[in-house]
Amino acid sequence: MYKSLLCQRYLRTRFIALASIISVMLGVATMIVVNSVMSGFSSQMRDRIHGLLADVVIESHSYDGVADPELQIRIAEEVAGDYIQAVTPTVEVYGMLNFNFAGQWITKPVTIIGIEPEGKAKVGPLRSFLDSYNPVCEDKKVIRPSLRPSEEQPNWELSQDANEYRHEKIDRQKWYQEQLAALKSSEEIIPVDHQVLEPDAPLASEDPFAGSPIKTNEASSDDPYALMDGRIYVGAGLVSYPYRDPESGKMKTMMMARPGDDVKISTVTAGRPPAHAAFQATIVDVFKSGMTEYDSSLIFCNLEELQEVRGMISPATGKTAITSLHIKLKDYEQAETVVERLKAAFPPDQFVVKTWEQKQGPLLAAVEVESAILNVLLFLIIAVAGFGILAIFYMIVVEKTRDIGILKALGASSNGIMSIFLSYGLSLGVVGSGVGVILGLLFVHYINEIEDWITFLTGRKVFDETIYYFPEIPTAVHPSMVLSVALGAMLIAVLASVFPARRAAQMHPVESLRRD
């Protein structure tokens, strides 16, 4: 009883102990905030990668693909049908994206993924990545509502907004062409720079595909507004770039191409040897996964068009070929089992079967390592607080030497004396951790309000949504993390008090009583 009574009195009367509590509290709060934000970022990143891929992916080694997707799907369903919720075939191949922006042709290397939008939407949250399904926010205000209702299945048709833009653009081009034709008929106009620089070089704005074979629309050539047979969802990073608005000083995004525009895509055929294959496509939507790596390299294209362009449709049988199957599982926990079963059914010399995590192994491992290192570094903050406790306790033990002698004279055991200081350390740890947990959780809960406040005070945006693609700072609080941080801090506080407590316990009663 005397132990808890003295421990409580020391806590109440020794204000220097408050310094230890504050250091533990700040350490715990920092760890909770940093871990929650990192965990929020990490889980968002995982969701985005997971969403773009699928639970399990079966890929052929060759870009030529394998024939008969129906057969491949049937095999997958036969071996793991109980676990599979949805399967969709895809074709993946590298290519080049070309589009005209501000009078010049821009070419970018891309990965073209041929998909069926309905099927792809079943294996992943395709809608949440497509720009037309999501409102555009700036400073937490909606500046453009979503262009499509969320019930609408992803498809290869333009949204009304994009359609209007396309009509307007084509009308403008038509008018420009007419004006140009009228001028040309009156006199020959040669641009000045063309004359001066390289008389024989083509104009930057001239179509680089002119003269080279390119697949265009087969039908509906009489409709000037008709979309190309090729339809794509283009990664936001491929057709936009960020810039600082000179007027507002805010980061904004400049779109170089947008839904309704036509682009040219070149890739290779599936035959041997691979040959150049190019086709025109209309941008139907822009996708933002939030993963820069994907957003600046991926194009989703209509599967049939890509198969046709690449010669992946057998002229004789009409059967198609695919390069991969994306599978959504009923329960992702069973992914390992499914992968094992699929590996047994799909010969390894032709196919690779992986979960999305296995496919992104190095990236996820790097994030894990980064998180672990950060945790170690942050834990050092609490360790520093631990040394603070040690120093303060040592001081308190010296100050309380006579009291220790009194207690020993009254019959207190060395263990009893030791436990006064250990429970004192534990109390500091409990109070520090408790307040730290509350502070940390409050900080995490109001992190966006705090960010607004700091932005208001400093006049500089701390968290720019145009850089991170997040409207708000993502956070994820895991109770196990909070518990382990709090317990760790308490343990450090107790460990830091062991040395002073042992010293107190070993004090000689007579010498302690004689201490002035």
Partner 1 sequence: MNTILQPNPIQLSAVALDKTYRKGPEEVNVLKGVNMDVRKGEFLSIIGRSGSGKSTLLHLLGLLDSPDIGEIRLEGKRIDHLPARTRDQLRNRVFGFVFQFYHLLPELNVLENVLSPLMIRHSTWEYWKRRRELQDLAREMIAQVGLEHRIRHRPSQMSGGELQRAAIARSLVAEPEILLADEPTGNLDVDTGKGIIELLSRLNSERQLTIMMVTHDEAIAQRAQRIVRLNKGQIENIRERAAS
Q: Is 403 in the site for partner 1 (CB under 8 A)?
A: yes
- Rounded least distance, CB 5 to partner 1, Å: 7
Q: Which of 405, 432, 488, 500 contacts partner 1 by CB under 8 A?
A: 405
Number of residues in contact with partner 1 under rule CB under 8 A: 25
Is the torsion defined by CA of 325, 330, 332, 333 positive or negative? Answer: negative
Q: Which is nearer to partner 1, 419 or 497 (CB)?
A: 419
Q: Is 393 in the site for partner 1 (CB under 8 A)?
A: no
508 HSE (CA, 13 A, CB side): 4
Q: Which residues pair with 474 in a beta bridge?
A: none
Of 125 and 509, the one with the shorter C-beta distance to partner 1 is: 509
Q: Which stretch binds partner 1 (CB under 8 A): 259-267, 369-377, 404-412, 438-446?
A: 404-412
Q: Work out whether 407 is an interface residue with partner 1 (CB under 8 A).
A: yes
For partner 1, the closer CB: 54 or 420: 420
Among 1, 182, 219, 316, binds partner 1 (CB under 8 A): 1
Residue 501 touches partner 1, criterion: CB under 8 A: no
If we measure between CA atoms, which residue out of 1, 27, 182, 85 comes closest to residue 492?
27
Kindly tell me which of 274 and 509 has the beta carbon lying closer to partner 1.
509
Q: Where are the beta strands (DSSP E) in 84-219?
A: 84-101, 104-115, 136-138, 141-144
Residue 201 DSSP label: S
| Least distance CB 424 / partner 1 (angstroms) | 12
Express the helix, strand and coil content of the chain in percent, nearest 5 each.
50, 20, 30
Six token digits for residue 479: 């109770």
**250 binds partner 1 per the rule CB under 8 A:** no
C-beta of 407 vs 496, nearer to partner 1: 407
Least distance CB 410 / partner 1 (angstroms): 5
Pairing of β 84-101 and β 104-115: antiparallel
Least distance from partner 1 to the Cβ atom of residue 442, Å: 33
Q: Long-range pairs for 268-277 at CB < 8 Å and ≥24 separation?
A: 268/63, 268/93, 268/94, 268/95, 268/310, 269/309, 269/310, 269/311, 270/63, 270/64, 270/65, 270/310, 270/311, 270/312, 270/321, 271/64, 271/311, 272/64, 274/63, 276/213, 277/215, 277/309, 277/310, 277/311
Say whether residue 406 binds partner 1 (CB under 8 A).
yes
Give the tokens for residue 43: 């889980």
- 5: Cβ contacts below 8 Å, ≥ 6 apart: none
Taking the complex as a whole, the smallest distance from the CB of residue 427 to partner 1 amounts, in Å, to 14
Residue among 6 and 312 whose Cβ is closer to partner 1: 6
By CB under 8 A, is residue 13 in contact with partner 1? yes
Binding segment (CB under 8 A) for partner 1, from list 30-38, 44-52, 349-357, 507-515 = 507-515
Window 165 to 204, contacts with partner 1 (CB under 8 A)? none
Residues 108, 100: Cα–Cα separation, whole Å: 12
Q: Are 511 and 405 within 8 A, CB to CB?
A: yes
Query: What binding mask, one character per residue, do residues 408-427 give for partner 1 by CB under 8 A, x or -?
Result: xxxxxxx-x-----------
Kindly give, in sequence order, each residue whose CB lies less than 8 Å from that of residue 252, ignoring residues fewer than 6 positions away: 242, 243, 244, 245, 466
Q: Least distance in Å: CB of 13 to partner 1?
A: 6
Tokens of 13: 């009367």
Alpha helix segments (H runs only) across 152-260: 160-186, 192-196
Tracing tokens 């740890």 back to the chain, one arrives at 429
Residue choice 9, 61, 174, 250 for contact with partner 1 (CB under 8 A) = 9
Cis before 273 (ω within 30): yes
Nearest approach in angstroms of CB 435 to partner 1 is 23
The nearest distance, CB 418 to partner 1, in angstroms, is 13
Question: Is residue 402 part of the contact set for partner 1 (CB under 8 A)?
Answer: yes
Region of 6-14, 272-280, 375-383, 451-459 interacting with partner 1 (CB under 8 A): 6-14
The residue range among 27-35, 46-54, 66-74, 402-410 that interacts with partner 1, by the rule CB under 8 A, is 402-410
Q: What residues make contact with partner 1 under the rule CB under 8 A?
A: 1-2, 4-6, 9-10, 13, 402-403, 405-414, 416, 508-510, 513
